[in-house]
Each structure stands twice: as C-alpha cells, then as structure tokens.
Amino acid sequence: MRLAYLDWNATAPLRPEAAAAMTESLARCGNPSSVHRFGREARRALEAARAQVAALVGAAAAAIVFTSGGTEANQLALRGVAGRRLLIAAIEHDSVRDAAPATVVPVTPQGVVDLDALERMLAADPRPALVSLMLANNETGVIQPVAEAARLVHAHGALLHCDAVQAAGKLPLDVGRLGADLLTLSAHKLGGPQGVGALVVVADVPLRALQIGGGQERGRRAGTENLPGIVGFGVACAIAARELDGYAAVATLRDAAQRRLTAMVPEARVYGGNTARLPNTLCLAMPGVPAATQVMALDLAGVMVSAGSACSSGKVRRSHVLDAMGVPAAAAESAIRISLGWSTTPADIDQLAEAWGALYARRRASAA
C-alpha cells in the first residue's frame, strides 16, 4: 500500500543530512565539559550547532539553552522566570497551559489572540507579568500577532515568551523583530531528531534553572548535553533556513487539498482559513463523523493525519483550541488536522481526497 504522511505538525521526517551528522557524532567519544582533546572536539561540535540554531532565529549563540524538547523549554521559560504572574493565550499548547497557574487571554472566532483583552488584563493588575503567546497554532496553523503583543507587554513592564515550535522552519523568524524575551524551539518539528529543543533567552532576562546539578548551558540547564541530537538539530536548522522559500509550494498543495475536500463535502468546515496561517496546515471538520473515525478510516487507506494536537499520548479528544474559538462541541469533535511538508506530493493529496471522499460516500449511504 502506498502511504501518504500528512501529520508533519506532529513530527517532520528526519533530514538525511541531520541523520548523517548524528551518526558521525555518535562515533566520536568526548564530553563537551571535558578539557582534553576529545572534550574540546565535542565542545566545538556543540558550539557549532548552537550557532546554527541561533542563526535560524536571528539570535546570539549565547542566548541558546539546549533542552530535551519544546515541552521542557516551555516549562523552563514559564517556571524559570520567578516572581511574575502568568498570562497565556487560550490556544496555547498543553506544555504551556499546564506549566503553572495562569490567567487565560481569550481569542477571536478566527483563533487570533484578543489584544484588547490582553491590554486590559495587563492594566488591571500592577504586578510584574509574564505573557506566553505562541507564534503559530499547532492545530489550526493560525499565526499570532506576536510583535504587536510584545509592544503591549513591554509597555506594561512585562516579559513575553513565544512558543515558536510550529513556526520555526516554516516562517522567517527573528527574535529581535518579534520582540520576544524568551522563545521556544523543537528539533523534530523542522527535520531534526526527537528529544532535542532549545529556549532562546535574551541576555537580561533572569532565568532560574529547573534542572540542577551541573554547570552546563551556562548554569541554566544542568546535565551532559545530548551532543548527537544537538548536532542533528543544528544541521536541520541550517537546512530550514536555506529552504524557507520552498514552503510556497507547500501552501499551493495545502490550498489544493482544501478546495478539493470542501468541494466534495459541502458541509465541511475549515477552521482558521480566513486569517493568516502556516503554509502547511489545514484544520477541517466533516460534520457528524467523529475525528477518531476519520483518522482511522484515513489510516486504513494509507493516509496519516491527526485529530488536533498529537501530544496527548495517542488520545483523541476535543480540541481546546476550537473550544476557545467558540466552535460548537459537535463540530469540534469532528475536526481533523492535515499538515504537509517539504516532501509532500500531489499524489499524497490525491490519496487524501480519494480516502476522505470514500468515507463521506459511506456516511451518506448509511444515512440514506
């Protein structure tokens, strides 16, 4: 059976160049904290990768703190900045939502954070604040007005954390232009290995280490660094920076998929389709057919998609993102996420359309 992988927002395939660099790194011995020859070689590889990750987001290499992934980086940002009340957008990833008690900032029906509400919440309490706002939503792909939010946040003496996990490698990124004080990245979303991420920390932001017991990462995250994973992360970032323009073609395929699916299923609803979104992401519902049913039916046809976020241990549950957008419960429970990438082909879209259309035809036949 031919397989069509359309779940890139869950994880992107490992770049062959990253895999090759990791294999070479695995063959070497040396702890980056050791001062002998092998240790110095490991340190050089670590710092070269740090520079590659920093270059992707326009940051200084010293700002990069390597972590075990985006979840840990989000936790380090939100729990490591002490003494501030936390405000988060209603559409944030669970690793942000569960990090600490927070005030939730609403979003519009289009899935965009309500900046007026954010400003009112900042003005209502004089205590120092930390605001967390993702750059692009992992379920709908909707892009958030992070730079505008940063201006509001800083005007109230607050700090801004931006979860850029889904946007990195798909949109041009510059942490300075965004105005973010802290920014989260994850390797496996852009062609690097799973289990590696980074927190970008602006120089004057005080950060308390959550993982202690060593002086690694300039005292901000203890533990011997995952050097092969970090090397692969760096290579993936370098490739992503070079190939950003390629996502215009991905957007063309995504739009073609949207046209075909909504044409064959007139009741279909697209969420986030009327505002700026990632070029690879399509969130839509087949009303009356549970998301789990759609995911399984498509999988049997060789097409891999997901229901909302894929970060909940395989559980299929109604999306808190769509709830925040005011989508009725029944419709939200019928929404799936289709996400494309650099190797997606028109044949993949054909296979998706055929499988989704066949499911719709069976549903109509059973209802007749």
Q: List, by residue number, the catalytic residues.
A: 311
Distance of CA 279 to the CA centre of its chain: 13
In terms of Cβ atoms closer than 10 Å to its own Cβ (0-12, 13-18, 19+), residue 35 is exposed
Q: Report the C-alpha gap between 313 and 95 in whole angstroms.
A: 13
Pairing state between β 129-132 and 159-163: parallel
Per-residue H/E/C for the chain: CCCEECECCCCCCCCHHHHHHHHHHHCCCCCCCCCCHHHHHHHHHHHHHHHHHHHHCCCCHHHEEEECCHHHHHHHHHHHCCCCEEEEECCCCHHHHCCCCCEEECECCCCCECHHHHHHHHHCCCCCEEEECCCECCCCCEECCHHHHHHHHHHCCCEEEEECCCCECCECCCHHHHCCCEEEEEHHHCCCCCCCEEEEECCCCCCCCCCCCCCCHHHCCCCCCCHHHHHHHHHHHHHHHHCHHHHHHHHHHHHHHHHHHHHHCCCCEECCCCCCECCCEEEEECCCCCHHHHHHHHHHCCEECECCCCCCCCCCCCCHHHHHCCCCHHHHCCEEEEECCCCCCHHHHHHHHHHHHHHHHHHHHHHC
Q: Report the C-alpha gap between 271 and 337 in whole angstroms.
A: 10
Q: Are 167 and 145 in contact (CB under 8 A)?
A: no
